[in-house]
Chain A
Amino acid sequence: MATLTVHGVPKSFGKVAVLHGIDLSVADGEMIVIVGASGCGKSTLLRIVAGLETATEGRIVISGADVTRLEPAERDIAMVFQNYALYPHMSVFENMSYGLRIRGVPKPEIARRVQQAAEMLGLGALLQRRPRELSGGQRQRVAMGRAIVREPKLFLFDEPLSNLDAKLRVAMRAEIKRLQRRLGVTSLFVTHDQVEAMTLGDRLVVMNQGRAAQVATPMEIFARPADTYVAGFIGSPAMNFLPATLTEGGLGARIADGPVIRFADGPRPGMAGRALTLGIRPEHFALGGPLPLTPDLIEPLGSETVVHGRLPSGQEVTLRLAGMPASLGTLEIGIRAEHLHVFDGETGLRMDAQPAAALTPAWQGG
């Protein structure tokens, strides 16, 4: 099928820089999910790959061929739009076959492909209907069908599920995943829904204000987020961030107005007193520990309980506990140090543990 490489693509609309040099390399048959907050440039990136916007600089390479200067029609890609963008005056059959008719595919071949895609998507009985006679989910599937019959090198999805209700969304999500596996078409999928991102993607691109903050597998992103933005974006409820400072020897962190937490995985570089941000997911707190938490909102969810509260420093904290806490007064909580994420207090970048041996000379020298 095809590979896709995006080489340092920036994009500005007039004076407004929307993308700041995106690099991305997609393997054959891979499904990449681009996720990020609204307005971070996800659609813009997708539209540049599609050829609907021209990149300010950089190159787009599909299967080794530079397509940067090519029209959308010449790139052999298919796109599913957020609003589906079906042709309102054409029947479902005509919608799905439009691209094939333009390419001059023989009639019997068109009929065969459309029939096949329609069956795959459960649209067989609807081929003669107009888009306005279809439900949202059916329109979504027609849009998928229109992309599938083309048998393109690349699928581009721009939030195709965001107009569907929650139940249909889950169903279509699974369907898209299955289809993509089966057809093996290299795909880019844009969403701002982290569950969609985690479940669909072979790899995720987490975008933040026109930059790719991290490109990695979903589990990697969950377990080792590259910076505080990614850490806060993936996971629900969101990760807690506590300001802290590095202790002597880089062996632990002192939480502002609070106790010292010793790193479980090894020391971090830097002088004592270096500003840090500690990241801890709500499920990674334990009852019984050095931090007194005053709960101000408790959300029992049955098998677990989400507790929102404050530390003595005024810092807000959310935690997720199995079952229901015995008392609803002040809770003594602790941090499970093996799940602690350490970020630089200024840049927000992840700080990984360094092998102790590598650190020692620097410390002695300093």
Chain B
Amino acid sequence: MRKKVIFPQVGLPYLLLLPQLAITFVFFFLPAGQAIWFSFLRQDAFGIRTEFVGLENFVELFQDPLYLDSVWITLVFSFWVTALAMSVALGLAVLADRHIRGATAYKTLLIWPYAIAPAVAAVLWIFIFHPQIGLLGKFLNGIGVRWDYKLNGTQALITVIVASAWKQVSYNFLFFLAGLQSIPRSVLEAAAIDGASPARRFWTVVFPLLSPTTFFLLVINLTYAFFDTFGVIDALTKGGPAKATSTLIYRAYIDGRVNLDLGSSSAQSVVLMLAVIALTAVQFRFIERKVHY
């Protein structure tokens, strides 16, 4: 049973909701509606004539090998960003959980990446990965690996994956640490007395008990990798070389802002929007059902 508040006037609740609704409307529904509308239109090269083309923008999109490449790049990119950010964070959280005394300082240090603007973070990574001035770049070239992420597509992808994952580690770390600390100590002690080695305790007790946290972070990290990594990519590789790091979000931006292909860019935005909705739906569904043990 949900508690109901009784309002004397019918209008008051709506009035109270109005500011929130207005903001959502102006900043989300309006542009979103516009994007959906534009995705059904096509303009000529000079932006003079506009005609309604139905689903043609979408059909063209999915027949475009470059777009399909972008889809693949996005999947690879998102998979690795999520896997890297989550596994590193979990490892750090386990270490911090063991030595909780120093954890405050440790936590503070680990939070910093999250507070750094993407452009600043990118500069930092340039200082690491740049083939001539970067620490790691210079080192790799020194030992004979031909490292240049500005020329080599795979290396460019690795660079943006590492940089993007790094930014997300702090966030994941905090959630994993909170998750670890909410596991009752005595349950782990019981497992130790039952004869489980530390590794076995981790995989048979800790990890299953962390699964709600892990699932929540999985969705958050995928969403981040899909939609929130524009800044890192733009600052580091600008989607290059030869579109090797052009993820869907980056491409939508380039096609819209740079190539001024509003129809295609809008269609891409709509696809992305559907992806967000799908991810969110999955999240709500599972959180409602509680991915609990």
Interface residues of A (CB under 8 A from B): 50-52, 71-73, 77-79, 81-83, 85-90, 98-99, 102-103, 130, 146, 150
Contacts and interface: CB of A to CB of B under 8 A. Distances in A.
A102 B187 contact: no
Nearest to B187: A85
Contact of B195 (A52, A73, A79, A86): A73
A1 B106 CA distance: 48
Contacts of A103: 195
Interface of B: 184, 186-187, 189-197, 200, 204-205, 208-209, 211, 292-293
Contacts of A130: 293
A89 B208 contact: yes
B195 A87 contact: no
B186 A81 contact: yes
Nearest to B197: A73
B192 A81 contact: no
Nearest to A47: B189
A103 B192 CA distance: 12
A72 B189 contact: yes
B192 A73 contact: yes
Nearest to A89: B293
Given A72-B193, A89-B209, A146-B194, 14 more contacts: A52-B192, A52-B193, A72-B192, A73-B194, A79-B193, A85-B184, A86-B190, A87-B187, A87-B205, A89-B208, A89-B292, A98-B194, A102-B194, A130-B293
What secondary structure prevails in chain B residues at the interface with A?
A: helix
A270 B200 CA distance: 64
Q: Which 8 A-B pairs have the closest CB atoms?
A: A89-B293, A99-B194, A85-B186, A85-B190, A73-B195, A89-B208, A102-B195, A72-B192
Given A88-B209, A89-B208, A102-B200, A83 B194 contact: no
A72 B191 CA distance: 10
A79 B190 contact: yes
A82 B184 CA distance: 12
A52 B189 contact: yes
Contacts of A78: 193
A84 to B, nearest CB: 8
Nearest to A52: B189
Contacts of B191: 87, 98
A98 B196 CA distance: 9
9 contacts: A71-B192, A72-B192, A78-B193, A81-B186, A83-B186, A89-B292, A102-B194, A103-B195, A146-B190
